C-alpha cells in the first residue's frame, strides 16, 4: 500500500482567510497548512494531506474542501507517492 501526499491551493472567500483555515484545520485535519500572500493583498492557503491510496483519493478531499462555507476555489498544486 502506498502513501500519497497532496498539496492543495485553496482560495478563501474574500475576507474569510482565518475562518477558512479554522474550518479546514478542524474538519479535515491536514498534515500541514499555511497562508501565503499571492499579490495585492490576495492570500491563499496551502494545505498538505497525507493518506493511504487505498483509503481515499485526492478528488474526495478536494470535494470536501470545496464544500466548506468559507472556501471559494481549490486546485491541486502537487500530488505524489511516498
Q: For the chain, give every domain's residue range.
A: 3-43+55-81
- Report the alpha-carbon distance of residue 42 to residue 10 in Å, rounded: 12
Q: Which of 29, 32, 27, 18 is nearest to 70 (CA)?
A: 18
Q: What is the pLDDT of residue 2?
A: 84
Average pLDDT over residues 52-64: 86
Check whether 54 has a pLDDT greater than 80: no
Total-model pTM: 0.91
Q: What is the pLDDT of residue 15?
A: 92
Q: What is the pLDDT of residue 53?
A: 81
Amino acid at each position: 500500500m502506498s502513501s500519497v501526499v497532496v498539496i492543495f491551493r485553496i482560495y478563501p472567500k474574500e475576507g474569510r482567510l482565518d475562518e477558512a483555515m479554522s474550518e479546514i484545520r478542524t474538519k479535515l485535519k491536514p498534515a500541514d497548512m499555511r497562508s501565503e500572500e499571492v499579490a495585492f493583498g490576495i492570500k491563499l492557503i496551502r494545505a498538505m494531506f497525507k493518506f493511504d491510496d487505498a483509503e481515499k483519493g485526492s478528488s474526495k478531499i478536494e470535494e470536501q474542501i470545496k464544500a466548506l462555507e468559507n472556501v471559494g476555489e481549490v486546485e491541486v498544486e502537487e500530488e505524489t507517492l511516498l
